[in-house]
């Protein structure tokens, strides 16, 4: 365990003016408070805060940060209080320790609602003082290094939290070395087999390509020196996690990955970076498409460097990173490398001009304090944390940074929400392209707009940014509410017109309250959405207006003193039960014949499956007609003077019989869409009987399937599974017109989309 004087010497090595008294006092106080506490490894607990402080000395942080590292667990795990910390070490250190204590109490791997709320608290704590994040990352790094002593379930929870939250946060703050170590440590816990396979291969490569690496280093150094550039060349092998993600992304085997060796070329000036690039490209073959200039266009986390890939000795690919010493320092330390921070400017507003990472942090904090929903916030933050970026330009040259996989829809919403909502098309580098086209760095994107356009719901499956998805979801929700409001208003209007009356504002308020709604608007929306039935509305209106309804009585032709149910076989395919005689089977059929109680069944083209609600419609002069509740015919009978009789299924002996029904959905125009849908349906154990596909736009197709299911529960399982499938939207029971198209076998083949030049 590091001694007191050793810690002070580590700080003095980069800060000769360190407050030695502060560090000594924090060391002694923390050691006394933790006392005889032990870690899971059996080591004294105080060894943990001491190691956290040592990690921060590697980042060359200020005295207050080192003191906080020593004290960070005292409030959480000992009898120390915030007031005592404030009194002994000052309110600045006390506030940081208190912020870390609140973070330690968060469980970031929980159900989504709780996780989002805890992520809010985490980012708000960071926003108060960025040193909270630096100490927390060092704390998490040491915990991950000693994770082997924890129970397996706790190891996996902590590793998942690290991979999902802390490693991406370190990356966003530009702390690449820390991010890489956190990812590799978490990877080892979460996928030990893959980790072992990759590390074994890396071990083999180090010996197998040792001579190649040495040769490339020597040649690079000599070529650069010969042209007057004093360069420092170092070799490295990529991390196990970065190799694994590349294998997954490219869908290749480990043996096929050819660029696991990287070289860093550190030169004195920016001009030397470009001069060195010219020398490299002149003397070695370059791999096309692997050049990136992050000096001209820095990454979101302030990272600056030139990347290129060459074919070296033995046809071995090698990635080169060319940068200055200052760029290298920022690449390794991120926000901890900024001079403003070391001078005590911990306020995020003062540092943002020096660090793009702080601009992102402010943007995220602004989003979380803007009242966005839990679901939207969690999605927004995770998307922003995880994605690498591409850089595109507007026609006027404005630079827009977007996540990898972003589309023109994301670009439009990045410019402004109104531009996104009214986007109807896009040009990339002067050519009109589908909105599903993924953007690449350097693209010039022009958005085509229509002020009367609103975003369709299926855009949410295309968008890659949290901002775009949240805006689309909000716009779709507003459209749905507007439609529901208009429908609800129409329902009330018809009812009032039929009764020959009206409602003033006071009566409307009473009507809304009587139906459990806070206002007229919410009432009309609930009516349009079907949350309140027409019968409930009718009853409540009559109550508000003080009208006693005179109902026309319809006598049903059933036996005297009849109670219970009798079974009625309506067709060869269906058996229904209706109120009436308790007898069943042939005797019930005979009783019906004697009573002249005739029925017929309206089966809609969309299909009827057991579990669908059935309604019997009866007038005094006609037999009962039984309809499924989704039949279009029922809408014409809504205001008719007929009797509505609830009907239920009798499936005795027919439980395993399959029933046809028709479903409809919209899917992205991409290879494998049909196979993806078929796989989902098959996984639900449903059978596909027929299929029609139509092109609705260059980006989307409409699929209409006739499937066979046992009952409504299985159908619901199919629909829900399809709704959760990426690239598929607007999943529902088919309309009558869609269902009838199956009989005509209307198949529209997709048009071939040419790639833009």
The residues annotated as belonging to the active site are: 76-77
Query: What count of other Cβ atoms lies within 10 Å of the Cβ of residue 320?
Result: 24
Alpha-carbon distance values, 119 to 102, 139, 362, 369, 378 (Å):
12, 17, 15, 12, 8
Count Cβ atoms within 10 A of the Cβ of residue 29 and give its class: 0-12 exposed, 13-18 middle, 19 or more buried.
buried
Sort strands 599-601 and 622-628 into parallel, antiparallel or unpaired. Answer: parallel
Q: Which of 360, 376, 386 is nearest to 470 (CA)?
A: 376
Cα dihedral 366, 371, 375, 381, rounded to 10, equals: 0
Is 336:62 a contact under the CB 8 Å cutoff?
A: no
CA distance 387 to 172: 10
CA distance 754 to 757: 9
Is 707:688 a contact under the CB 8 Å cutoff?
A: yes
* Dihedrals phi, psi of 424, to nearest 5 degrees: -125, -10
Is 337:208 a contact under the CB 8 Å cutoff?
A: no
Q: End-to-end alpha-carbon separation of the chain, Å? A: 63
Is 603:628 a contact under the CB 8 Å cutoff?
A: yes
Query: What count of other Cβ atoms lies within 10 Å of the Cβ of residue 382?
Result: 17
Query: What count of other Cβ atoms lies within 10 Å of the Cβ of residue 450?
Result: 10
CA distance 711 to 610: 5
The CA angle 168-171-175, to the nearest 5 degrees, is 140
Query: What count of other Cβ atoms lies within 10 Å of the Cβ of residue 633?
Result: 13
Is 260:239 a contact under the CB 8 Å cutoff?
A: no
Is 668:462 a contact under the CB 8 Å cutoff?
A: yes
Long-range contacts at 227-233 (CB < 8 A, ≥ 24 apart): 227/275, 227/279, 229/267, 229/268, 229/272, 229/275, 229/276, 229/279, 230/267, 230/268, 231/265, 231/266, 231/267, 231/272, 231/276, 232/265, 232/266, 232/267, 233/263, 233/264, 233/265, 233/266
């Amino acid at each position: 365990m590091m001694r007191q004087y050793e810690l002070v010497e580590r700080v003095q090595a980069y800060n000769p003016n360190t407050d030695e008294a502060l560090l000594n006092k924090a060391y002694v106080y923390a050691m006394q408070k933790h006392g005889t506490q032990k870690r899971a490894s059996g080591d004294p607990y105080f060894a943990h805060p001491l190691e956290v402080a040592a990690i921060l000395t590697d980042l060359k942080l200020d005295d207050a940060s080192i003191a906080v590292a020593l004290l960070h667990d005292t409030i959480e795990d000992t009898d120390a209080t915030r007031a005592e910390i404030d009194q002994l070490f000052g309110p600045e250190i006390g506030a940081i320790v208190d912020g870390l204590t609140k973070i330690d109490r968060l469980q970031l791997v929980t159900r989504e609602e709780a996780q989002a709320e805890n992520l809010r608290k985490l980012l708000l704590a960071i926003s108060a003082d960025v040193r909270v994040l630096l100490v927390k990352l060092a704390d998490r790094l040491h915990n991950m290094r000693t994770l082997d002593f924890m129970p397996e379930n706790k190891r996996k929870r902590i590793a998942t939290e690290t991979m999902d939250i802390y490693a991406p946060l370190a990356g966003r703050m530009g702390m690449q070395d820390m991010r890489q170590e956190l990812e590799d440590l978490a990877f080892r816990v979460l996928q030990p087999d893959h980790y072992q396979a990759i590390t074994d291969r890396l071990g083999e490569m180090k010996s197998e390509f040792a001579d190649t690496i040495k040769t490339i280093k020597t040649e690079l150094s000599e070529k650069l020196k010969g042209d007057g550039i004093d360069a420092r060349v170092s070799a490295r092998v990529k991390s196990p996690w970065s190799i694994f993600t590349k294998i997954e992304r490219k869908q290749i085997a480990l043996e096929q990955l050819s660029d696991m060796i990287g070289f860093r070329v550190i030169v004195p000036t920016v001009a030397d970076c470009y001069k060195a690039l010219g020398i490299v490209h002149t003397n070695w073959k370059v791999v096309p498409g692997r050049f990136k200039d992050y000096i001209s266009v820095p990454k979101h986390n302030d990272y600056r460097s030139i990347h290129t890939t060459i074919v070296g000795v033995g046809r071995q690919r090698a990635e080169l990173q060319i940068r200055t010493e200052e760029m290298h320092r920022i690449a390794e330390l991120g926000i901890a490398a900024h001079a403003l921070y070391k001078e005590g400017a911990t306020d995020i507003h003062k540092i943002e001009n020096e660090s793009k990472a702080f601009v992102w942090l402010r943007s995220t904090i602004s989003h979380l304090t803007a009242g966005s929903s839990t679901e939207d916030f969690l999605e927004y933050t995770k998307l922003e944390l995880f994605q690498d970026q591409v850089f595109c330009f507007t026609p006027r040259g404005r630079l827009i940074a977007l996540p990898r996989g972003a589309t023109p829809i994301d670009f439009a919403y990045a410019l402004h929400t109104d531009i996104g909502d009214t986007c109807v098309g896009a040009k990339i580098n002067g050519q009109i392209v589908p909105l599903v086209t993924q953007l690449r760095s350097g693209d010039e994107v022009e958005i085509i707009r229509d002020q009367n356009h609103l975003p369709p719901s299926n855009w949410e499956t295309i968008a890659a940014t949290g901002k775009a998805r949240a805006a689309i979801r909000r716009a779709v929700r507003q459209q749905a509410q507007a439609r529901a409001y208009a429908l609800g208003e129409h329902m009330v209007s018809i009812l009032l017109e039929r009764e020959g009356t009206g409602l003033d504002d006071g009566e409307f308020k009473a009507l809304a309250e009587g139906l459990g709604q806070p206002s007229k608007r919410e009432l009309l929306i609930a009516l349009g959405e079907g949350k309140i039935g027409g019968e409930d509305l009718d009853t409540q209106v009559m109550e508000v207006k003080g009208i006693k309804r005179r109902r026309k009585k319809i006598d049903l032709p059933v036996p005297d003193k009849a109670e219970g149910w009798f079974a009625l076989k309506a067709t060869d395919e269906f058996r229904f039960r209706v109120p009436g005689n308790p007898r069943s089977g042939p005797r019930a059929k005979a009783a019906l014949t004697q009573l002249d109680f005739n029925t017929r069944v309206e089966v809609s083209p969309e299909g009827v499956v057991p579990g669908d609600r059935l309604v019997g419609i009866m007038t005094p002069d006609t037999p009962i007609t039984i309809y499924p509740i989704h039949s279009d015919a029922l809408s014409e009978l809504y205001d008719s003077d007929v009797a509505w009789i609830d009907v239920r299924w009798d499936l005795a002996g027919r439980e395993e019989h399959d029933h046809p029904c028709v479903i409809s959905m919209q899917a992205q125009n991409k290879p494998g869409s049909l196979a993806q849908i078929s796989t989902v349906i098959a996984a639900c154990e449903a059978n596909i009987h027929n299929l029609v596909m139509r092109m609705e736009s260059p980006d989307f197709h409409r699929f209409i399937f006739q499937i066979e299911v046992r009952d409504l529960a299985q159908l619901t399982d199919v629909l829900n599974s399809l709704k959760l499938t990426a690239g598929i939207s607007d999943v529902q029971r088919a309309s009558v017109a869609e269902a009838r198209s199956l009989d005509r076998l209307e198949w529209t083949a997709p048009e071939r989309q040419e790639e833009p030049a």
